[in-house]
Chains A and B, each alone.
Chain A
């Protein structure tokens, strides 16, 4: 990483409020230079553009379908049994078995069954 790149990395962390105090003076000095000011401007422009982009909505009834699937899976799982016993990694090492689009509505159980 060359000096300019290092300074831009400091500016990137400064933009996030995550720059160690020891590097703040250096970053502020870099902001006086064209390259530093340009990086500051562009990083904020990127932030604003990303935040302005809307995310797709969940389809109507998502929560109900999920509740139904949970109720169904609960009735199929022996007590004290299966699940991702990964302690929070969220990755038990297996393929996730994500259902194919549209397949979820075919297996609606009674949401109140749990």
Chain B
């Protein structure tokens, strides 16, 4: 039985031998996962899709140099993240600073205030508020923290895999994920310490 990594490597070797259809199979397998990752970094869906397309093109061109030292998907994610970063730079955008993080987080709470007035069952409202607050806090995170926590929580990568993707030590991965969680948890605190039914 082959592992996922081995089956990817088989397809990679076929691509390296000139079989473009094998690359189509890798695209089909990874396009949604890559979109899920990139759309957390580049928020406009059309722009995120362009970054995904560019990532696959860069990967295809660079594949002749891929030796399989790492898993194909960690290599692909690394290209995707670098392509997204470069895209943000060329668009004149940058990751928010920690000061902006606080400011944007505060904006999120204005929205949360308005959500409290929506007349829905309170448990649903609480869930919506939590989801809204978590996602608003995520968007305001510095890019390195956001990337680390997305790779862990959404893509399910191990710290070792994330260190490969982000080209940093495992200790840095651990620290980035912790710091991301702390920032998000801090934004959640008002919602959790003063639940909906006790606020009015």
Contacts and interface: CB of A to CB of B under 8 A. Distances in A.
Contacts, number: 175
B175 to A, nearest CB: 7
Interface in B86-114: 86-87, 89-90
Nearest 4 Cβ contacts at the A-B interface? A90-B79, A83-B61, A55-B36, A91-B82
Interface residues of B, number: 70
A33 B188 CA distance: 20
Interface of A: 5, 8-9, 12-13, 16, 18, 39, 42-43, 45-47, 49-53, 55-59, 62-63, 65-67, 69-71, 73-74, 77, 82-91, 94-102, 104, 114
Contacts of B35: 55-58
A53 B64 CA distance: 36
A99 B54 contact: yes
Interface of B: 20, 23-24, 27-28, 31-32, 35-36, 39-40, 44-62, 64-66, 69-70, 75, 78-83, 85-87, 89-90, 130-131, 134-135, 138, 149-150, 152-154, 158-159, 167, 174-175, 177-178, 181-182, 184-185, 188, 192
19 contacts: A9-B174, A12-B177, A16-B152, A16-B159, A45-B192, A53-B131, A59-B46, A63-B24, A77-B61, A83-B58, A84-B61, A88-B70, A88-B75, A90-B59, A90-B62, A90-B78, A91-B86, A99-B54, A101-B47
